[in-house]
Amino acid sequence: MDLFFGYNYFVDGFEKEMEKLVSVLITSYNRPLLLRRAILSVFNQTYSKIELIVVDDNSSYEVDLIVKELQEVATPNIKNFIYKKNPRNMGANFSRNRGLKHAKGFFITGLDDDDYFKEDRLQILVNHYNKEFSFICDNYIIVTGTNNHARFQRECIIDLQSILKENEAGNQILVERERLLSVGGFSIDFKRLQDQDVWTKLIQVYGSARRLNANTYYMDISHEGVRITKNIKDYVAYRKYYFKYKNIMYNDTKNYNLFRLMMLRCLKIKIIFSFIAKKQYWTLFATKLLLKRAFPGIIYLKQKVYENHFKKRVR
């Protein structure tokens, strides 16, 4: 089912206007109230040429009715409004790729249904876009309900080894649609770390990315409960990511990833390491002992890697 709102964008002069059209892709599943907030944050953008695509991953709620209702309050900057519903629950990556297939914008960016944009987000990202970088992104605010805080504190260039260590781009970027298509979109086999995976593919092909020191994306985790399986799922995901990209990792990047896998696999060991870091009790003996306990028979990794890791945490 396709719902269109606003001006007919496919008219004379389309190619000229198309250069600046931004497609915003929202995937949603069973969060109708949060989806409404996300859509309204797109309506409130100061940017003037937006295509909005909502892909419903077969929610049990009537999301199509919400979309129809919001048509009535849509702003003129929404040039095209598309709604798609999967015939069954297919997962986030399938839904993202489906939305990508229908997108017509020169640029594309995403928005999770439980998050929302600051009103000038698209304007800032487009104004600072430079095709010399694979994509552009910025900082984001983590909304906890009690103590909101920014994830990053500075502007930076994200090179390949940086993204292989940590997802320094966050969960959403602004990128040329053709670039995202050229790397195959989102990998269906990644249930977690799908963002870091596709950002890695983009940087591999198009070079380093740029992160602005701006806070225009709100990641709302206030509605999430305690998930006891989080570490297990994280371990499986990071292990999959490591083995996919280990051949292009420098040695220090490999060690960084292996160390993280150890911590995710051994929660009790993680607590001990954290205690050592806070107290600054760093000894080679303690390191070897804890590594041996965590992974019997594992090859000892360079001490410098761990020293650098803990120095960052102690600061």
Three-state SS sequence of 109-147: EEEECCCEECCCHHHHHHHCCCCCCCCEEEEEEEECCCC
Q: Quick check: 209 and 199 in contact, CB under 8 A?
A: yes
Q: Which residues are registered as beta bridge partners of 217?
A: 117, 140
Higher pLDDT, 60 or 23: 23
Using alpha carbons, list the distances in angstroms from residue 208 to 128, 155, 157, 182, 275: 15, 13, 7, 16, 36
Predicted structure pTM score: 0.79
Q: At what angle do helices 267-279 and 284-294 cross, to 10 degrees?
A: 170
Query: 172 or 5: whose pLDDT is higher?
Result: 172
**Beta-carbon contacts of residue 46 (< 8 Å; ≥ 6 apart):** 119, 120, 122, 123
Res 195 pLDDT > 70: yes
* CA 150 from centroid of its chain's CA atoms: 15
Residue 254 vs residue 104, higher pLDDT: 104
Tens-place pLDDT, residues 37-66: 999 999 999 999 999 999 999 988 888 888
| Identity of residue 112 | D
**pLDDT tens figures, 118-155:** 999 999 999 999 999 999 999 988 888 788 778 887 89
* pLDDT at residue number 302: 43
What crossing angle do the helices spanning 267-279 and 303-314 adopt, rounded to 10°?
A: 70
In sequence order, the 6+-apart residues with CB closer than 8 A to the CB of 244 are: 197
CA distance 198 to 205: 11
Task: Please report, in angstroms and rounded to a whole number, the separation of the first and last CA atoms in the chain.
Answer: 53
Percent of the chain with pLDDT over 90: 54
Closest CA to 181 of 122, 57, 245, 97: 97
Structure confidence at residue 223 (pLDDT): 73
> CB-based burial of residue 252 (10 Å sphere; 0-12 exposed, 13-18 middle, 19+ buried)?
middle
- Using 50, 70 and 90 to split pLDDT, how confident is the model at 314? very low
pLDDT of res. 266: 66
Q: How many CB atoms lie within 10 A of CB 181?
A: 14
> 82-86, 132-136, 189-193, 224-228 — which one is most confidently predicted on average?
132-136
pLDDT (mean) for 161-177 = 96
pLDDT at 103 over 90: yes
Q: What is the pLDDT of residue 7?
A: 34
Q: How far apart are CA 218 and CA 198, in angstroms?
A: 21
Residue 164 has pLDDT above 60, yes or no: yes
Q: What is the pLDDT of residue 285?
A: 44
